[in-house]
Structure 1
């Protein structure tokens, strides 16, 4: 067994791998997360190497693993689990697979995400915390200087069940001992598997929200990055469930005040921000705040490319993004208690199962242009499947229908967004204007969903600095 493959990886291959992952992120992300970039190391570089890899994989047998052929620092049990978990990981890749399982370099061991027998009584109560790491690149050559603490806290799901969720608090060098202001980031789509949680991805250097995180940290203010209920911890992640996302954001903001060493307190001015799924979570948190967390000192919010109407979003979703439809079907079926074996053929069941265990870039690549008509027993499209079975679930996620705090609001959206229809973003801004709020609506021409995301980052920081200073933003309501 070739146990030293990663240790001996040439420097040029490492840089190439990192570059490839970065390009893939910018090209394919939709508010999405890359698969761990070191997976690029597993791609064969020649036909001969590809043939050898196939032979190796055909000859896999986890029972052959023992202490003599497993890399140092990896238990035999971990190695066997890695081999048996996926036919895409060979014995030669055990060290990488174990790192993916336990993220030892992030400082967050796998057992940290295990929910204890009892949880605090109050939502936002801290359960435990651990020092973690935030890498800016997938080759782990650049670690951000901010102090990073990953913490677990108590929240409550839509059914009223107490749940443990996780988040990460980053405190930049030079920050005040008592933070005057802080940013709470609700991340875009990560996937629905536990390995895709931002707190795990940040430790791997593969979290695309690093763009927004580093931008906020540059202003010397603390940043909280939310994982969402069931993303990292036990239990299912109810993808695009507005109640659970909104509560996760608000309770993470509460818990950040209790994290040992935190500079955030009850008087700290907070901004909630997010894009795509994160924009939905931010808007949901605003709608829930009055009843769920009235004490939080939220003074502004930024919501980008918000899928305010999931049915309209799915209806116009390009086949490039079939992975998101697969995520939605998996999540909606659980929320609606629908048995998908009655609607999907074996190919469809396999596609949903595969996507549910992939982070978003991997899922996008694996399922791009997949014809969903071929996944159902009666030849219906996923859009028809949602119309027939999940409209009630989708309608419950609609935004823009509830009262929100009277604070400065930024809504941003690209005319060229190919995931969330531009009309939804403009409609949300108009709705908030009609309710009497001051709304800064920033449209742009960023190509695709991710282009729109990148284009908004500088504008968000200007808006953030102005609102934290007590200045009202330019009001766009007159032109909506």
Structure 2
């Protein structure tokens, strides 16, 4: 077996077993592959394609997937939290078989779950250079004839640190990926294509945020529904749930990503060990979890505060509050899935998001399960999406669970 195939195999096993696998370190802007480097002048409109190229798969060296799908890597225009135009990368995958359902082929705005914060973690790169675990869940959607527009998010693959868990940036990136897919030549997609939004965990936040922002940011999109699982709608709940656990690194992703989005130097709040931890984590992918597993954030801050305590103070308090999902009404029906036994996003967070949206007269259904752990809940989310989306694309009414909350 070649080194590249062995590497890919190890990565695949790591994804399924949650064993850490070290991906290549993030690169400085000037060292990024040429495709991911933004031009000096961006196109005029959000969702405009800057450049595109064929997307190959490391685990498909014979290009068998080319017989079934047209796979394209894209760089497109989006906007960050402040409204500044940025370049974001992503992937557009369209089945070659003719669409046989009602109307035109739907496109799923696919918001990926946690990949990490290093540039090498970008899904559009992992397809070709490693193992992208979301491909397992994409397969069923593609099999049903849906096109997929998957964003890498701001700073994941492109210049700058990935703004992990930034509500507006992630929502914009998801919506603009759909726009890019509809404008990409040769896909058969257009502005009339029905749209579904889908994601779990970080992807759940991205899809839920996109659902909230669509009516004002991308009102022309024909969004029919959203499926979002284990949505970290209130980030205040996360440090207490995962600090000192296997998933301690996720708190570092969030604090580093949001600090980058707000132009805050987080180093001012860290001791020497914390600065070293931050520098290391800033290059990490999700498979590197064990490098900081079971560490307590209070051991790395300048004054011994935990990250949970730190985010209750300014400027972090305002930063975290502005990421709250549930304060704006989604314009189309939403299915939320949440496990009672989720060990990362507490069940109460998912339920409260449902209550918040119901209070705003949204059509939302909460599907509760008892599948163990955060990873287990992903399976429920991935199986429930099919029936929900098929019904939405068929124009059937969506049931709401607001009456029983």
TM-score normalised over the length of structure 1: 0.77
1:327 pairs, out of 253, 263, 284, with 253
Residue 351 of structure 2: aligned partner: 426
Alpha-carbon RMSD: 2.7
Query: Are 1:157 and 2:80 matched, yes or no?
Result: yes
Q: Is the 8 A contact 2:11 2:130 kept in 1?
A: no
SS at match of 1:280: helix
Residue 113 of structure 1: aligned partner: 36
Query: Are 1:306 and 2:296 matched, yes or no?
Result: no
Residue 89 of structure 2: aligned partner: 166
Q: Is the 8 A contact 1:34 1:206 kept in 2?
A: no
Please tell me whether Structure 1 or Structure 2 has the larger radius of gyration of its CA atoms: 1
SS at match of 1:436: coil
2:69 pairs, out of 143, 146, 150, with 146
Alpha-carbon distance change, 332 to 169 in structure 1, aligned in 2, over 3 angstroms: closer
Q: Distance in 1 between matches of 2:271 and 2:300?
A: 6
Q: Distance in 2 between matches of 1:437 and 1:341?
A: 41
2:191 pairs, out of 252, 258, 266, with 266
Deviation at 1:142, TM superposition (A): 8.2
Deviation at 1:382, TM superposition (A): 2.0
1:218 pairs, out of 139, 143, 159, with 143
Q: Map 1:258-407 onto structure 2 (within 5 A).
A: 258-319=183-244, 320-362=246-288, 364-389=289-314, 390-405=316-331, 407=332
Deviation at 1:377, TM superposition (A): 2.5
Deviation at 1:297, TM superposition (A): 0.6
SS at match of 2:88: strand
Alpha-carbon distance change, 143 to 449 in structure 1, aligned in 2, over 3 angstroms: farther
Structure 1, unpaired ranges of 5+ = 1-5, 37-81, 87-96, 103-108
Alpha-carbon distance change, 245 to 143 in structure 1, aligned in 2, over 3 angstroms: farther
Deviation at 1:370, TM superposition (A): 1.3
1:182 pairs, out of 101, 107, 116, with 107
Deviation at 1:140, TM superposition (A): 6.0
1:237 pairs, out of 162, 167, 180, with 162
Residue 93 of structure 1: aligned partner: none
Deviation at 1:195, TM superposition (A): 1.0
Q: Distance in 2 between matches of 1:122 and 1:309?
A: 31
Q: Distance in 1 between matches of 2:352 and 2:363?
A: 15
Q: Map 1:19-34 onto structure 2 (within 5 A).
A: 20-28=10-18
Deviation at 1:143, TM superposition (A): 5.3
Deviation at 1:430, TM superposition (A): 2.4
Q: Is the 8 A contact 2:108 2:197 kept in 1?
A: yes
2:367 pairs, out of 442, 453, 457, with 442
SS at match of 2:312: helix
SS at match of 1:327: helix
Q: Map 1:10-159 onto structure 2 (within 5 A).
A: 14=6, 20-28=10-18, 35-36=22-23, 110-134=33-57, 137=59, 144=65, 145-159=68-82
Deviations 1:436-476 (A, max 9, x none): 33323211122111110022211111111111111123332
Q: Distance in 2 between matches of 1:173 and 1:143?
A: 13
Alpha-carbon distance change, 143 to 357 in structure 1, aligned in 2, over 3 angstroms: farther
Deviation at 1:339, TM superposition (A): 3.4
Q: Is the 8 A contact 2:228 2:381 kept in 1?
A: no
Deviations 1:45-101 (A, max 9, x none): xxxxxxxxxxxxxxxxxxxxxxxxxxxxxxxxxxxxx9xx79xxxxxxxxxx9xxxx
Deviations 1:289-333 (A, max 9, x none): 121111111111111111111112223224221111111222233
Q: Distance in 2 between matches of 1:348 and 1:26?
A: 29
Q: Distance in 2 between matches of 1:151 and 1:341?
A: 34
Q: Distance in 1 between matches of 2:361 and 2:233?
A: 19
Alpha-carbon distance change, 403 to 122 in structure 1, aligned in 2, over 3 angstroms: same
Q: Distance in 2 between matches of 1:198 and 1:354?
A: 20
Query: Are 1:451 and 2:376 matched, yes or no?
Result: yes
Q: Is the 8 A contact 2:338 2:367 kept in 1?
A: yes
Deviations 1:228-253 (A, max 9, x none): 11111112321111111111111111
Q: Distance in 2 between matches of 1:18 and 1:366?
A: 20
Alpha-carbon distance change, 474 to 403 in structure 1, aligned in 2, over 3 angstroms: closer
Number of residue pairs matched by the alignment: 397
Deviations 1:370-393 (A, max 9, x none): 122221232222222222341110
Q: Is the 8 A contact 2:234 2:349 kept in 1?
A: yes
